[in-house]
Amino acid sequence: MSDTPLNQSSNRPQKDPLISVIVPAFNEAGAIQTTLQNIAIQLAKLSPNWEIVVIDDGSKDNTADLVKAVSTKLNTSLVRFSRNFGKEYAITAGLEYAQGDVVICMDADGQHSSELLTQMLEKWGEGYDMVYAVRQDREVESQFKRWGSKVFYRAIGLGGQIHIPRDAGDFRLMNRKVVDALRSLPERSRFMKGIYAWVGYKSIGIPYTPLPRIHGESTFSRLRLIGLAWTGITSFSVMPLRLASAVGGLLALFAFLYGTSVVVDKLFFDESVPGWPTVIASIMFFSGVQLLFIGILGEYLARIYDEVKGRPSYIVAEHVVPQSKALVTRP
């Protein structure tokens, strides 16, 4: 633990837990130092034992250099990825590198208020293993996001295997038990919202309103959000496959009934059914449905393909620890 001025200002007893804050950062040069400073000030009030771990997710700007510049002063280590792997992987790496008895995940853009850390630790003290922050500001979001999140939670809820709390993101506290459980999951397709819910444990939500970004814009475009939602659904639910089977079954039944009626018409009423257009329309309709469902099958196949390749989830290009940091290794 470094002896920064921030740490000296704290007079908590030594038995205090080691608190790790992990911060995924992608092109956050405009915000990272302010964010780290705010987090450090808050942490120093809470415990003499704390560390920050920034995961630089392949930033194109000088985020990594700015983190290195304050590394020792703010007891911050840096894990720099070889390229942009995505936030889910940055968090996965953060959980791997953080050594804390509790680990808290916070964004680098200053949207997650460090004031909430006190409340999160209080809840942890009450015996909760995981404390997640729940967004309260959905009404100010665009129609697309509000509607989209509703559809998403409905769709993933249909699978019925896990319950993903609504509007809870990555801003959360996890104790060592939860972190070790998360680390034990070997899958490469990391849909964190689902993974947090899957491991279970005693969890509670606390409300929060995200602050405005210190700098820049969100990197999660509509397309990226749709992609993430689809990954989530196909990673945590087999509902699309069941839906495909159900629709296939219904269409087959419909085709059988229709075929029977054509035969009956011909045999008993001598009416041959005219209808090129009907034939063409139904061929096109059924081909469309088939292609759609082959596509859904392909999605699951792609997940399996990703898993069997067995590649590492991310590659670390550089790991920088604060100079005065004693190297603690977890057993």
Is residue 99 within the footprint of ligand UDP (CB under 6 A)? no
Q: For ligand UDP, what does the binding mask look like between residues 64 and 93, x meaning CB under 6 A?
A: --------------------x-xx--x---
Report the DSSP pairing between strands 102-105 and 19-25: parallel
Extract the tokens encoding 306: 């990703």
Could you tell which of ligand UDP, Mg ion, none binds residue 90, using a CB distance below 5 to 8 A set by kind?
A: ligand UDP
Place of tokens 């067995």: 310
SS3 for 308-326 is: HHCCCCCCEEEEECCCCCC
56 makes contact, choosing from ligand UDP, Mg ion, none, with CB < 5 to 8 Å by partner type, with: none
Rule CB under 5 A: choose which of 77, 111, 231, 237 binds Mg ion: 111
| 299 torsion bin: left (phi>0), alpha (psi -120 to 50), beta (else) | alpha
Smallest CA-to-CA distance from 119 within 107, 128, 111 is with 128
Q: How far is the CB of 299 from ligand UDP (least distance, A)?
A: 21
Question: Least distance to ligand UDP from the beta carbon of 189, Å?
Answer: 16
The verdict on 149 binding ligand UDP (CB under 6 A) reads no
Nearest distance, CB of residue 213 and Mg ion, angstroms: 6
The answer to whether 314 contacts ligand UDP (rule: CB under 6 A) is no
Residue 109 lies near Mg ion (rule: CB under 5 A)? yes
First-to-last CA distance in the chain?
18
CB 150 within 8 A of CB 83: no
Taking the least distance from each CB to ligand UDP, the nearer of 51 and 109 is 109
Under rule CB under 5 A, residue 57 binds Mg ion: no
Say if CB 26 and CB 61 are below 8 A apart: no
Least distance to Mg ion from the beta carbon of 149, Å?
15
| 111: phi then psi, degrees, rounded to nearest 5 | -75, -20
User: Which residues contribute to the site for ligand UDP (CB under 6 A)?
Assistant: 24-26, 28, 57, 84, 86-87, 90, 107-109, 111, 218-220
